[in-house]
Amino acid sequence: MKAIKLLVSSLIAGCALMSCGTEVGKVGKIRNQRDSVSYALGLSAGFNYKQSINQFPGNVELSPETLFNGIADGFKGSTKINKDEAKSILENYFVGVQAKAMAMAKDSTGALNADTVKIKATNNGLKNIADSLSYAIGANTGLNYVESLKNFPGNITPDNDMILAGFRDAMIGDSASTKLTTEEVGKVLNTYFEDAQKVEALKAAEKAEAARKENAKWLEENKKSDSEIKETPSGLQYKIITAGTGELPKAESTVKVHYTGKLTNGKVFDSSINRGEPATFPVGAVIRGWTEALQMMPVGSKWTLYIPSDLGYGARPAGDIPANSILIFDVELLEIVK
């Protein structure tokens, strides 16, 4: 939610300082849920952004106009300073503030202001420290959050004009000029995000069901492709490459193995062989497909495992493993650790 608020502030600032064709914030009535959610986002973001400017540390008075220019340029991808320069300006400032604060702790006669924090003003119209800081904050915000609304949850694509109107009313209007009260803003956003959570859960369930059907088809074709591939009642498939003759591990055993894990598209996501060191772990402390397979593998065995997603990581992604993935492992059981 915080990222969305910052992004909304950036969107509004960007249009406010560019030629948008009409006066910023001049829109009609709130007509539907999209309008109300968008306007509420703008109000919420505007109030929070206005408050954060007033609380900026170090006794430097930020320039809202320059800050908004930085945000606007960040969203256009044409900032006067790049991301590294913006980061450097901010880091240097806060290091200076901290150093001065520590000095003041020893000498209470010191004054913490812009002149005590030595930051070189940037060119391109940034005349002083306050300008540089304001623009750097804006540019950093714009560059970091420009993509955020593309992943806005639920079934609504926010309306930028209504967001702008909300931001304008929050920043330069008063409580009498807003189309929603503070209480209404909270109600609109809370209701929408509660509903959006249900929508996203439904989308995830539909995606998981589609993946389940696709995985079932892949596993069925995989089993038919090689007569040496066997399947257990749980759905685990395996092929014996080398039949070991050693002891069988138990659920409470700790084993040492070499393995390579890959996806059905052949992409390797993990390999003890590539790391040059076997892995050691308890049989009962790994994914279900491994736990089941290891208890069937005598020491010295080399197997290829085809693990359905419900015996792997299921619907949750894990590192380079997407959600609902079939996992393929080449496994060599080296020893049972005594």
Task: Quickly list DSSP for 1-53.
Answer: -HHHHHHHHHHHHHHHHS--SS-TT------SHHHHHHHHHHHHHHHHHHHHH
94, 152, 269, 281: the catalytic one is: 269
Per-residue pLDDT tens over the stretch 172-226: 666 677 888 889 999 999 999 999 999 999 988 888 888 889 999 999 999 999 9
For position 7, what pLDDT does the model report? Answer: 42
Query: 39 catalytic, yes or no?
Result: no
Of 53 and 136, the one with more pLDDT:
136
Of residues 145 and 9, which shows the higher confidence score?
145
82 Rama class: left (phi>0) / alpha (psi -120 to 50) / beta: beta
152 is catalytic: no
User: Of 325, 221, 313, 311, which Cα lies nearest the Cα of 263?
Assistant: 325
15 Rama class: left (phi>0) / alpha (psi -120 to 50) / beta: alpha
Q: Is 313 a catalytic residue?
A: yes
pTM, to two decimals: 0.56
Domains in the chain with CATH codes: 2-180 (no CATH), 214-337 (3.10.50.40)
**Of 195, 270, 310, 330, which is the active-site residue?**
270
Tokens of 201: 């859960």
CA atoms of 180 and 207, how far apart (whole Å): 37
Answer yes or no: are the C-beta atoms of 134 and 122 closer than 8 Å: no
Higher pLDDT, 136 or 78: 136
Active site residue 269: yes
With CA atoms as reference, report the closest residue to 39 among 218, 189, 208, 154: 189
Confidence tier at 20 by pLDDT (50, 70, 90): very low
- What is the distance between the terminal CA atoms of the chain, rounded to a whole angstrom? 51
270 in active site: yes
Per mean pLDDT, which range of 122-136, 219-233, 271-285, 301-315 is the poorest? Answer: 122-136
Q: How far is CA 72 from CA 36, 64, 139, 169, in A?
A: 24, 12, 8, 19
Exactly one of 49, 68, 192, 259 is catalytic; which is it?
259
Catalytic residue status for 135: no
Select which of 313, 321, 326, 328 is catalytic. 313
